[in-house]
Structure 1
Amino acid sequence: MREARNLPAGPPAVTVLLATHNGMRFLPEQVESILAQEGVDVSLVALDDGSTDGTADWLLELATSDPRVTVLDDDGTGGSSAKNFARLIQRVDVPDDALVAFADQDDVWLPGKLARHAALIAEGVDGVSSSVTSFTPDGDRSLVRKDYPQRELDYLLESPGPGCTFLITPRLLRLTAEVLRDSADARAVDFHDSLIYAVARGRGWRWRIDGWPSVDYRQHGANVMGSNVGFAAARERLRLIREHWLRTHSTHLTRVALHVAPEAARGELARILALLTTPGVRSRLALARESSRLRRRPRDQRIIGLLITIGIW
């Protein structure tokens, strides 16, 4: 039986962490959809990463007119989306009763996103993510489903959805900040959503993937990582696989999970880590047999199993 959380009376408090870089083209629409969230007490903490298009000035001006908005100083240690979110995670001062969300600079949040996911957190999970609706400048819209049933070790290979759909507890934020401080592997992870999910699941905390698409997920030429739909996305993933990026990424996440795992889970994670890092056919075939535990979607399980078996992955 799941244990419900005792949350304060009144609307849930949510702190949204916004990482920006040259985002003025779409940022005002994104921020408007955040500050207009219904049924929550929302605040916004932004950190700009060296923008040259007026993004930082726009955020500072917004902060002077809206007390819900705070802008952190850029200390020059960013350089990527992952590093900027890592800075936010480590520097933000979040109240003990505030949930935490993450925002890109180019999406649109549906009005009930935060309230719906806060209610799911109250059911006894530490993280919530969701499916999204992908949309393009041409007006094409499609559901990007993320709520395939979770698998025992899926957090070692994939995120539970885009980070812009995440809502997490303060204790998960604090644990992620500690891991980023103490683990070089955590700092090497390229995406904050994968890192947070690995920290939560590696610790043994529960996560809920909501099938309702809570975000209109904008697709354009400057996406750091798009919706993984279509031929171009498949080709890019195959390139990353052939260059062993995914295997390296998974190795980092496995070491992160080991860093936070309870004693009872450490043996199995150490075994998976050995399969990831030991060359040879026997290790490869043994890892391929784990594919049904490493991916959620049945099609993806078959594909990753094949790629590991033939040595491309």
Structure 2
Amino acid sequence: MPADLTPGVLPRVAVLLATHNGRRWLPEQLDSVLAQEGVEVEIFARDDASTDGTAEWLVDRAASEPRLTVIPSDGASGSAAANFYRLVQLSPADREFYAFCDQDDIWIPTKLATHVRLSQELGADGVSSNVTSFTAEGERSLVKKDFPQRRFDYLLESPGPGSTFLMSNRLVAVTRELLDAADAAPLPQYHDWLLYVVARAKGWTWHIDAVPTVEYRQHDANVMGANVGARSAFSRLALVREQWHRGQARLLAGIALRVADDAHRPEIERMSELVEKRNLRARFALARRASQLRRRPRDQWIIALLISTGVW
């Protein structure tokens, strides 16, 4: 469980900020992180080959802001997830907590302090939350992620946007070991998903809070926007038909087996076997476990149908 905090000393949170062509939104995001209350914030930023002046702006800001450290790029990562993976590997290993930060959101002032408190009270190695999405036109909506967690939901979905994550030192340490040993092995295409898998496979507590802590900006450059609307649904269905989701589930099941404790290993082995096979018996066995695979009841019915018909 998370390390005990020293009374009277603010908890240290290393905020890992990945950037790529985000110059137009970055000042507002960075200011909201630096304005966090009740914690000692340190920001470690790594730019991924921006062409809009983002990297230069970060260096200029770091010259006058001691809480911001720019990690020199060692080459283009190719994706936001890969950039975050490098941040996990290159950030200091001795902070009590870590948080992921996108370049284009806005954090409410109590985000980190609230999640640190929940981590301590619940013994949670990971905390995430709902978010409020917003557009340039002023449209706002709740993106709800706090449906009750299910036994194997971590193989098919993350516990919310990575920008809401607060993670314990030991959770990041295990993940760092995985990344350091990965070499050419494939990694999940979403960094937040990996952290959730590690925590749940080891039997550690993860809390998804109902209170939104991030203003989640929606724009045409989002890597993965809020999962709302018909356009989003069609996009995700296309990924299902292309077997992308099943491939990620296979990959994540393998990672779960690498880190699982003895108590959770047998059930993960069985689930991994069902995800690998596509014969009729395996499909129906997996479909019967649909209520364990997704948190939202509607999604449980949908995934059961997709699995049993062979689409997933």
In structure 1, the partner of 2:165 is 166
Q: For the Cα contact (< 8 Å) 2:14–2:97, is it kept in 1?
A: yes
Closer, same or farther: CA 4–180 of 1 in aligned 2, 3 Å: closer
**What are the superposed Cα offsets for residues 40-78 of structure 1, whole Å, 9 maximum, x if unpaired?**
111100000001111001101111101100000100151
Q: For the Cα contact (< 8 Å) 1:145–1:211, is it kept in 2?
A: yes
In structure 1, the partner of 2:66 is 67
Closer, same or farther: CA 173–35 of 1 in aligned 2, 3 Å: same
Q: For the Cα contact (< 8 Å) 1:186–1:195, is it kept in 2?
A: no
Q: Secondary structure of 1:37's match?
A: coil
Q: For the Cα contact (< 8 Å) 1:133–1:216, is it kept in 2?
A: yes
Describe how 1:202-221 pairs up with structure 2 within 5 A: 202-221=201-220
In structure 1, the partner of 2:38 is 39
Closer, same or farther: CA 223–138 of 1 in aligned 2, 3 Å: same
Q: CA RMSD in A?
A: 1.4
Unaligned runs of 5+ in 1: none
Matched pairs, number:
310
In structure 1, the partner of 2:311 is 312
Structure 2 CA distance for aligned equivalents of residues 192 and 184 of structure 1:
16
Structure 1 CA distance for aligned equivalents of residues 279 and 125 of structure 2:
38
Q: For the Cα contact (< 8 Å) 1:185–1:255, is it kept in 2?
A: no
Q: Secondary structure of 1:247's match?
A: helix
Q: Which region of structure 1 is more displaced relative to structure 2, 75-84 or 3-12?
A: 3-12
Q: Which of 119, 122, 125 pairs up with 2:120? A: 122
**What are the superposed Cα offsets for residues 149-207 of structure 1, whole Å, 9 maximum, x if unpaired?**
11111111110000000001111111011112224797420001100000111111100
Closer, same or farther: CA 144–186 of 1 in aligned 2, 3 Å: farther
Shift in Å, 1:11: 1.9
Describe how 1:259-298 pairs up with structure 2 within 5 A: 259-298=258-297
Structure 1 CA distance for aligned equivalents of residues 275 and 136 of structure 2:
40
In structure 2, the partner of 1:99 is 97
Structure 2 CA distance for aligned equivalents of residues 212 and 15 of structure 1:
22
Structure 2 CA distance for aligned equivalents of residues 186 and 163 of structure 1:
22
Closer, same or farther: CA 304–161 of 1 in aligned 2, 3 Å: same
Q: Secondary structure of 2:263's match?
A: helix
Unaligned runs of 5+ in 2: none
Shift in Å, 1:5: 5.2
Q: Secondary structure of 2:264's match?
A: helix
Structure 2 CA distance for aligned equivalents of residues 4 and 79 of structure 1:
32
Shift in Å, 1:12: 1.5
Q: For the Cα contact (< 8 Å) 1:183–1:256, is it kept in 2?
A: no
1:244 is aligned with what amino acid? Q
Instruction: State TM-score, norm by structure 1.
Output: 0.96
Shift in Å, 1:309: 0.7
Q: Secondary structure of 2:285's match?
A: helix
Describe how 1:1-313 pairs up with structure 2 within 5 A: 6-9=4-7, 10-96=9-95, 98-123=96-121, 124-183=123-182, 187-313=186-312
Shift in Å, 1:266: 1.4
